[in-house]
Chain A
């Protein structure tokens, strides 16, 4: 009996292994920055080249750091939901990635501004320090300024309900 069950067992095992492999998304590269302090930077703000956006801002409250660009189609899709989150009182900071100031400002003007402040990263160099390889990407940062989660691609209401929302609520409770 075992003689016949063994190949079947091996086959089922292989099937499970391959099945798991198929459901993984190779586009989602896990970030090595999780659990590490946010990379430091100092960039001009989008709305005012004279004012600066310092990464020290991330200290003291839980925030989302959303990397976006006016030329990015998926960002447009995500934007309405970010507006909704901002209305709910979620603190969102932005990083305008490889954009022109004009286009970035126009975007905010037309679609609304969900951000407390937007850092303007014209060369995309700061984004490299954050391990960004596409837009949109969103980091969840805790009160100590430590990166706790990275979401790749636009945030959908479902992503918020299942992952980001509960995490933000949990981090809010931490001192």
Chain B
């Protein structure tokens, strides 16, 4: 009975293995490079998944490409470059810093600085004025007014 239940659960878990191929690596270093690469490359089909997560047909093909290139002794930079040449910077989760992406990289900091500057200036102009002492003449007038108040009430 237990074996049957275990078998049933394993059968249900089969789809989980669908997208992740079993690959043989000559050494663990290569394997970790492979994992690292496919996690930092974006799938073009389901755009919120990395090549590592995606079950899309194309992701499978691109994983195979990455694997083949690793076995062929290509460097990580060469492999990433191979994909960028074909699909553009879109395949990178971390876009490179260049002219077209300057706003993307530095815009938020610029906005933060501008906001900080604005706050600082508003803070400076809106400081409440310190109360100044009354002149003797004003003091006298105040006394008179207060007396009037007392009489009328």
Binding site for B on A (CB under 8 A): 26-27, 29-33, 98, 123-125, 128-131, 133-134
Nearest Cβ on chain A to B113's Cβ, whole angstroms: 15
Instruction: Give the number of residues in B that approach A within 8 Å (Cβ atoms).
Output: 15
CB contact between A29 and one of B62, B85, B87 (< 8 Å): that residue: B87
Chain A residues with Cβ under 8 A from B84's Cβ?
32
Q: Give the tally of cross-chain contacts (CB within 8 A).
A: 38
A32 & B61 in contact (Cβ 8 Å cutoff) = no
- Could you say which of B47, B58, B86 contacts A32, with CB atoms under 8 Å apart? B86
Q: Is there an interface contact between A131 and B87, defined as CB atoms closer than 8 Å? A: yes
Task: Check B65–A31 contact: CB distance below 8 A.
Answer: no
User: Is residue B131 contacting chain A, with contact meaning CB distance below 8 A?
Assistant: no
Determine if A30 and B88 form an interchain contact, defined as CB atoms under 8 angstroms apart.
Answer: yes
Q: Could you say which residues of chain A place their CB within 8 Å of the CB of B89?
A: 32
Chain B residues in the interface with A (C-beta under 8 A): 44-45, 47, 57-58, 61-62, 65, 84-90
B57's partner among A29, A30, A98 (CB-CB below 8 A) is A98
Q: Is there contact, CB below 8 Å, between B45 and A31?
A: no
A31 and B88 in contact, given A26-B47, A133-B45 (Cβ under 8 angstroms): yes
Give every chain A residue within 8 A of B65 (Cβ-Cβ): 128
Please tell me if the beta carbons of A124 and B61 are within 8 angstroms of each other in the complex: yes
Q: Complex: how many Å from CA A27 to CA B61?
A: 19
B86 x A130 contact (CB < 8 A): yes
Closest to B86 in A: A131
List 10 A–B pairs whose Cβ atoms lie within 8 Å, in order of A's numbering. Answer: A26-B47, A29-B87, A29-B88, A30-B90, A128-B61, A128-B65, A128-B86, A130-B86, A133-B58, A134-B44
Tell me the smallest distance from the CB of A2 to a CB of chain B, in Å: 14
Shortest Cβ distance from A98 into B: residue? B57
Residues of A near B86 (CB, < 8 A) are 32-33, 128-131
Bound complex: CA A30 to CA B65 (Å): 22
B110 → chain A, closest Cβ, in Å?
A: 14
Cβ contacts under 8 Å, A33 to chain B = 86
Query: Which B residues are CB-close (under 8 A) to A123?
Result: 61
**Bound form: Cα–Cα A3–B62 in Å:** 55
Contact B87–A134 (Cβ < 8 Å): no
